[in-house]
């Protein structure tokens, strides 16, 4: 069974983009089975938990965990929402367990992903690391213009 960590970049807060907003995804993934009825994924869904150092309790030692995948949801505008050592530890984690998903919800919330070495280069924003193909630099959400220029 593959172990997936679903994690937000914020501490839990009522009526915010906590991991609860992703509960349908967590439930769906946890129910996927192969043809023999064996569950394919073990899901851990959590919000950020700050240590006194400012690091997250799990992300600060991600490379030492037994997770096979990290799905990190950037849900707040912040620089480095993971702590000082996360870029280095996430690189070591990706060497061992390459599949990772980084997702910014809106606007500049995903900018910190740009600092994560190899996977950071895959994140494109209108004002930072723009899409190389100018024809792809278009708004896909024309009904919410406030989130376009990020």
Q: Is residue 130 in some structural domain?
A: no
Who wins on pLDDT, 73 or 104? 73
- Is 37 contained in some domain? yes
| 132 assigned to some structural domain | no
User: Number of folded domains in the chain?
Assistant: 1
Q: What is the CATH number of the domain that holds 108?
A: 3.40.50
What's the CA gap between 144 and 25, in Å, rounded? 24
- Parent domain of 24: 2-122
Give the span between the Cα atoms of 50 and 35, in whole angstroms: 40
Interval 133-143: pLDDT, tens: 888 777 766 77
Contact 8, 77 (CB under 8 A): no
Residue 145 is assigned to a structural domain of this protein = no
Specify if 43 maps to a domain. yes
Highest mean pLDDT among 26-40, 107-121, 134-148: 26-40
Position 150 confidence tier, pLDDT thresholds 50, 70, 90 = very low
68-72 average pLDDT score: 87
The answer to whether residue 61 is domain-embedded is: yes
Residue 140 lies in a domain: no
What would the pLDDT profile of 77-97 be if each residue is shown by its tens digit? 554 556 666 777 777 777 776
Residue 64 lies in a domain: yes
pTM of the complete model beyond 0.75: no
At residue 102, the pLDDT reads 57
């Amino acid at each position: 069974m593959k172990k997936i960590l679903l994690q937000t970049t914020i501490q839990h807060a009522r009526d915010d983009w906590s991991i609860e907003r992703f509960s349908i995804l967590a439930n769906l993934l946890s129910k996927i089975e192969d043809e023999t009825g064996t569950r394919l994924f073990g899901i851990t869904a959590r919000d950020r938990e700050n240590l006194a150092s400012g690091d997250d309790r799990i992300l600060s030692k991600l490379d030492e965990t037994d997770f096979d995948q990290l799905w990190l949801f950037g849900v707040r505008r912040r620089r480095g929402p993971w702590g000082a050592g996360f870029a280095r530890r996430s690189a070591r984690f990706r060497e061992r367990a390459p599949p990772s998903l980084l997702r910014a919800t809106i606007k500049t919330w995903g900018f910190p992903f740009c600092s994560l070495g190899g996977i950071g280069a895959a994140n494109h924003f209108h004002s930072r690391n723009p899409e190389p193909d100018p024809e792809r630099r278009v708004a896909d959400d024309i009904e919410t213009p406030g989130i376009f220029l990020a």
